[in-house]
Chains A and B, each alone.
Chain A
Amino acid sequence: MSTTIIAEQQEEGIHPTLPQLVHAASIIGGECTIIIPGGGGESEASEIVGVDRVLKFNGSCFSVFDSQSWSSALKGSVGGTVLLASTPRGRELGASLAADIGISVVQDITSISEGINVERPVFSGKAIEKVTISSPAVITIRPNSLDPAGNGASAPVSTIDSGEDLRMAVEEAITKASEKIDVSEADIIISGGRGLGDISNFEKLEEVASTLGAAVGASRAVVDEWGLPHSMQVGQTGKTVTPSLYIAVGISGAIQHLAGMRSSSYIVAINKDPEAPIFTVADYGIVASWEDALPVLHDSIKALP
């Protein structure tokens, strides 16, 4: 079986998941073609080990993300199993392509093995579905689920021009006002407690939050004492949250706080008191003063590929 990977562009170039998709293609086997809608990053793509050719698509329709016209433009060049990153755009384009070609789509898989057998989280992660795929299908892969394929090859690059028309026009780009994310909506939350020492130190949490796209929360003690908005409060009388990652900084973990956040998928706790109850629920507990540990965490997160 052959595979076609549809790469995704982002502002800083090609989406970093591309080598992971190539790894998935090597598990499926057969020829691997990368399609780059709108072009850009083709030399990067051609260097990934395991890629047989790169097709760069030019055409006016690629100036705006429009899943319907993009899939019309691409479908003639797509063959075999189709792989995309499970990003919002990857999923939308993947679904359009599948319907266009007349094959099934399996979204957001987190593991893949020969067969083709894949796993995907369902019910917001409360269960894992195992799926067997026996005919060509579109598969979207959750970023960072697979190791990336290596570098050092040089696959041929060719260009295709598409005359497909766009079906929508951008009227206005709205840059995200650095609007604060609400803790009850956020997928990542970084919360501070009395251990921060002073309300001004919440700025440090804001900095990490903006790197992670996280919301900033707080324990009741500091909401009450430092007059923070009640909407930030996580815990018994505040919000009950279930983000995929909860980072507790200088929070001892009173039972009322734990009641509001213990169902988070992953919990990181930074506290200098090794006996702090927050460590009983932490997946990653760091016994250190937050003044020292938080900058290290922040820098290391920024340094991740």
Chain B
Amino acid sequence: MKVAVLIKQVPDTTAKVGITSGSVDEGAISKWSISPYDEYALESALSLQSGSGATVVAITLGPERSSKSLIDAAAVGADELLHVVHDGGLGSLSLQKALSEAVTRVGAEVVLVGKQAADTNSGSTGPGVAKMLNYSCVGLVSRIEAGSDGFEATRSTPSGMERVSVKLPCVFAFDKGDVELRRPNVRGIMMAKKKPIEKISLADLGVDNTGEGVSTTSVDYPPEKPEGQRFEGADAAAEVAVKLREEANVI
């Protein structure tokens, strides 16, 4: 069985994101990492590898620097590495098309992906790729287990969790699971260095990056928070509750 894990390289969640003239200053980002939810997808893929002998293919799409995330994946055990090299913007359809072609190319019946990437915060890739491949799709997954003719996945629902069974081929979009992520050791790191990375372009996959009627006009810092507000007396708590909903939009 081949398992594809789609991983995206994003600024580390601890890194400062600087913006100059309407776009993110990528050169100033101090640390790039595999997007956190993708790490859970990778971890699950690796447990399928040790549990049922699956071959794990890590796939990324992004500029040259993203190869590092494939090497990181190899350091913890990914078997094969595929890099779709593309620098610059890409519409959601072209992106999903490229990744689904990449999955077809490696011949994976199971695709694991994070529920959303930490940079764009979208969460469209898993379900979109599934649709393009005509694979089933289970989102918000915290664990999967291979069954006799398919998989069982635990996913969260608005009221709790549920375990669903699904046949292959399937895409699973991962939420955080209560698993411990394996950490690379020296042996893994040394081996990862030797692992070949197959690099291909969008054109190799037959995807052209055409405009899709959606364009980013600028990226800015979020508006400064207003000065702190002070309220006297317990009754003011009612007003604060409303402000938390309406001003801050956090509850």
Q: Does A153 contact B (CB under 8 A)?
A: no
Interface centre among A99, A128, A142, A144 (most CB of B within 10 A): A99
Interface centre among B11, B124, B231 (most CB of A within 10 A): B124
| A268-B136 in contact given A123-B118, A135-B213, A144-B249 (Cβ < 8 Å) | no
| A300-B241 in contact given A106-B214, A288-B233 (Cβ < 8 Å) | yes
Interface pair A124/B250, CB less than 8 Å apart: no
Interface pair B236/A105, CB less than 8 Å apart: no
A-contacting residues, B146-160, CB 8 Å: 152, 154, 156-160
Q: Does B34 contact A (CB under 8 A)?
A: no
Interface pair A297/B222, CB less than 8 Å apart: no
Contacts of A297 in B (CB 8 A): 237-238, 240-241
| B26 vs chain A, min Cβ distance (A) | 12
Summarize A's interface: helix, strand, loop or mixed. mixed
Q: Does B235 contact A (CB under 8 A)?
A: yes
Interface pair A173/B160, CB less than 8 Å apart: yes
Q: Does B185 contact A (CB under 8 A)?
A: no
Cβ contacts A90-125/B at 8 Å (1 or 0 each)? 011111101110111111101000000100111111
Interface segment out of the listed B43-51, B61-69, B125-133, B199-207:
B125-133
Contacts of A129 in B (CB 8 A): 216, 218-219
Q: Which interface class (under 10, 10 to 19, 20 to 34, 35 or more) fits A?
A: 35 or more
Of the candidates B216, B226, B237, the one whose C-beta lies within 8 Å of that of A294 is: B237
Q: Does A226 contact B (CB under 8 A)?
A: no
| A245-B139 in contact given A128-B219, A133-B214, A188-B251 (Cβ < 8 Å) | no
Least CB separation from A123: chain B residue: B17
Q: Does B59 contact A (CB under 8 A)?
A: no
Contacts of A57 in B (CB 8 A): none
Least CB separation from B166: chain A residue: A168
Least CB separation from B100: chain A residue: A99
Cβ contacts B108-143/A at 8 Å (1 or 0 each)? 000000011011111111111111100111111000
Interface pair B138/A107, CB less than 8 Å apart: no
Interface pair A173/B214, CB less than 8 Å apart: no
Interface pair B124/A64, CB less than 8 Å apart: no
| A99-B127 in contact given A130-B216, A188-B251, A245-B244 (Cβ < 8 Å) | yes
Of the candidates B124, B130, B164, B221, the one whose C-beta lies within 8 Å of that of A105 is: B124
Interface pair B220/A104, CB less than 8 Å apart: no
Q: How far is the CA of A104 from the CA of B213 in the complex (A)?
A: 8
Q: Does B96 contact A (CB under 8 A)?
A: yes
| B96 vs chain A, min Cβ distance (A) | 6
Interface pair A64/B164, CB less than 8 Å apart: yes
Least CB separation from A176: chain B residue: B160
| B114 vs chain A, min Cβ distance (A) | 13
Contacts of A212 in B (CB 8 A): 251
Q: How far is the CA of A66 from the CA of B136 in the complex (A)?
A: 8
Interface pair B123/A173, CB less than 8 Å apart: no
Of the candidates B118, B152, B243, the one whose C-beta lies within 8 Å of that of A124 is: B118
Q: How far is the CA of A121 from the CA of B116 in the complex (A)?
A: 13
Interface pair A266/B250, CB less than 8 Å apart: yes
Cβ contacts A124-153/B at 8 Å (1 or 0 each)? 111111111111110000101100000000
Interface segment out of the listed A21-29, A39-47, A199-207, A278-286:
A278-286
Interface pair A167/B136, CB less than 8 Å apart: yes
Interface pair A185/B241, CB less than 8 Å apart: no
Interface pair A288/B232, CB less than 8 Å apart: yes
Interface pair B228/A296, CB less than 8 Å apart: no
Least CB separation from B125: chain A residue: A95
| A304-B251 in contact given A107-B122, A123-B17, A173-B162 (Cβ < 8 Å) | yes
| B231 vs chain A, min Cβ distance (A) | 5
| B171 vs chain A, min Cβ distance (A) | 9
Q: Does B75 contact A (CB under 8 A)?
A: no
Contacts of B16 in A (CB 8 A): 126
| B27 vs chain A, min Cβ distance (A) | 16
| A171-B164 in contact given A105-B128, A296-B234 (Cβ < 8 Å) | yes
Q: How far is the CA of A87 from the CA of B123 in the complex (A)?
A: 11
Q: How far is the CA of A289 from the CA of B135 in the complex (A)?
A: 57
Q: Does B248 contact A (CB under 8 A)?
A: yes
Least CB separation from B138: chain A residue: A168
A sample of 22 inter-chain contacts (CB < 8 A) reads A92-B140, A95-B123, A99-B124, A104-B92, A121-B222, A123-B119, A127-B222, A128-B222, A129-B218, A131-B216, A134-B213, A168-B166, A174-B160, A175-B159, A176-B160, A270-B237, A286-B234, A287-B232, A288-B234, A293-B237, A296-B235, A297-B241
Which residues does B use to contact A, with CB under 8 Å? 11, 13, 16-17, 19, 24, 91-93, 96, 115-116, 118-132, 135-140, 152, 154, 156-167, 173, 176, 212-223, 225-226, 228-238, 240-246, 248-251
